[in-house]
Amino acid sequence: MSEGLKSETGTPEGGAGGTALKRVIGPKLLLLFVIGDILGTTVYSLTGQVAGRVGGALWVPFLVAFVVAFLTAFSYLELVSKYPRAAGAALYVHKAFGVHFLTFMVAFAVMCSGITSASSAAQGFSGDYLEALAGPDVPSWAVAIGFLLLLAGINLRGISESVKVNVVLTLIEITGLVIVVVFGAIAIFGGSSNPELVADPGRLLEFNAESGPFFAVTSATALAFFAMVGFEDSVNMAEETKDPVRTFPRVLLLGLCVTAAIYLTIAVVTSTLVPAEVLAESDGPLLLVVQAAAPWFRPEVFALIAMVALSNTALINMLMASRLLYGMANERIIPRAFGRVLAVRRTPWVSILFTSIIAMILVSTVQISSLGGTTSLLLLMVFAVVNVAVLVLRREKVEHRHFVAPTWAPVLGAVTCVFFALPITGRPLVEYGIASALLGIGVVFWLINYVVGKRRPADFDAGKLAK
């Protein structure tokens, strides 16, 4: 494997208004971006749902999810260093297969995964953590909508401001996880001031008795994979990253290693201190851990930290979704209006508003566990196609050197992604219904663009994507 020595900056041609995105993200900012995205909603809000599916062996589905993620990461690293553009998976799929409809649907699926992820974060923000901070009388629906409107404002302000906000939020997010690990370790090994706490390491080998170990792990892994939306989020920042060919391989792999260690540690502490059936009833599971380990610690403080962490995930997801639409509009896969950029702030304002409206609709109609599972399903489908695309694109050479994945990685990545997307894993059927409805909207959009825009597959200039 080799990492590119000659950088292809992939300078964009500009948005629909002729304005290009700014390259402001360096390695440190990108690393915090990846870590902040992969942490966030899954660990702060969906850990309880994962525990409900697997039982006390909470660490197992997260370990499996990260193994699958590492396989797919190699494919993304080869592709993003080979084609450092903002379009991400849709770019790779179009270059590999050249099918306009498939490209469009992949782009739409990725966008939907970002929006469903942000909607999950909005529901977690307005759930148990908000109740611990402000009491049960606060209207959660109104808070969730206001939360998404605030994120849209930050996104419109600019990528530089958004990424700087991400740095602050990521540090606060990590602080919350440090609190969980430190207080949890003290309670487990040094004794707790809570007389009702019964730390039980034996739970770490307990699986859901109703489904059995195999289906308990596969079903839980299917949800735990929700965290991996960070892949597509980060590669869609390629056009705003300094020297993406050099930066992405080492930053993404380092980010995965750091987050994997954090997830496994949190999973062990959480299961040891709180029974799985208790975790399954909460969308604020880490608050339960802190209350069990350190009842003297004010729950309002940790609830505020958790809400900040959820804000971080949602902000990154909405950044990804809007930049994806921007990239697709520039390549004329969707109407050019989505590529319009504010002349002063240089942000894709039409795409930001569109994705924010969809998120508001979802957060008002779908439960958090279903949103998380749907996000995971959409990602697994996209990742399976990307793993195949990297093998197909081996036939196409580029002038600069780039990262090359070992062939076994995309092969195993494609097989495992397809497996965890299948109903045989125990995935709830409602998630397939939500995903089908969202992709159905995508089909409608494609038909509108096909008929009204008079776009035909033959009209699409695939060579333009490689520029």
Question: Nearest CA to 33 among 330, 325, 231, 179?
Answer: 231
pLDDT tens, residue by residue, 411-454: 999 999 999 999 988 888 889 998 998 899 888 878 877 776 65
Which residue is listed with tokens 């992604």?
417
Tokens standing for 227? 């965290």
pLDDT tens digit sequence for 265-287: 999 999 999 999 999 988 899 99
- Which residues are registered as beta bridge partners of 241? 25
Band the pLDDT of 212: cuts 50, 70, 90.
Answer: confident
**Residues 233/37, Cβ–Cβ less than 8 Å:** yes
Predicted confidence (pLDDT) at residue 55 exceeds the cutoff of 50: yes
Question: Quick check: 93 pLDDT over 50?
Answer: yes
Q: Give the closest residue to 377 by CA, choosing from 320, 420, 317.
A: 420
- pLDDT, mean of residues 193-219: 84
- Decide if pLDDT at 464 tops 50: no
Of residues 1 and 427, the one with the higher pLDDT is 427
Token readout for 60 is 């197992």
Give the three-class secondary structure for 241.
strand
> Which helix (H) or strand (E) is 191 found in, with range?
none
pTM of the model: 0.81
Q: What is the DSSP string of 99-168?
A: -HHHHHHHHHHHHHHHHHHHHHHHHHHTTHHHHHHH-TTS-HHHHHHHHHHHHHHHHHH-HHHHHHHHHH
* Token pair of 89 as six digits: 């998976």
Q: Which domains, from first to last, does the chain contain?
A: 27-455 (1.20.1740.10)
φ/ψ (deg, to 5) at 427: -65, 135
CB 39 within 8 A of CB 309: yes
**pLDDT tier at 461, thresholds 50, 70, 90:** very low
The tokens for 108 are 């739409």
Instruction: Say what the pLDDT of residue 19 is.
Output: 46
DSSP per residue, 111-129: HHHHHHHHHHHHHHHTTHH
Most distant CA pair in the chain, distance: 71
| Residue (of 47, 26, 418) closest to 250 by Cα position | 26
Q: What is the pLDDT of residue 141?
A: 82
Tell me the backbone φ, ψ of residue 449, rounded to 5 degrees.
Answer: -65, -35
pLDDT tens, position by position, 326-348? 877 776 767 777 888 877 777 78
The DSSP code for 52 is H
- Give residue 422's pLDDT: 93
Q: Coil, strand or helix: which one is 192?
A: coil
Q: What is the mean pLDDT of the chain?
A: 82
Which two tokens mark 439? 């992709």
Residue type, 158: G
Tell me what pLDDT residue 211 has: 81
Q: Which long-range contacts (CB under 8 A, 24 or more apart) does 250-254 make?
A: 250/3, 250/27, 251/27, 251/30, 251/31, 251/34, 252/34, 252/73, 252/76, 252/77, 253/73, 253/77, 254/31
Q: Are 86 and 243 contacting, i.e. CB atoms less than 8 angstroms apart? A: no
Residue for token digits 């930290």?
305
pLDDT at 192: 63
Q: What is the pLDDT at residue 175?
A: 92
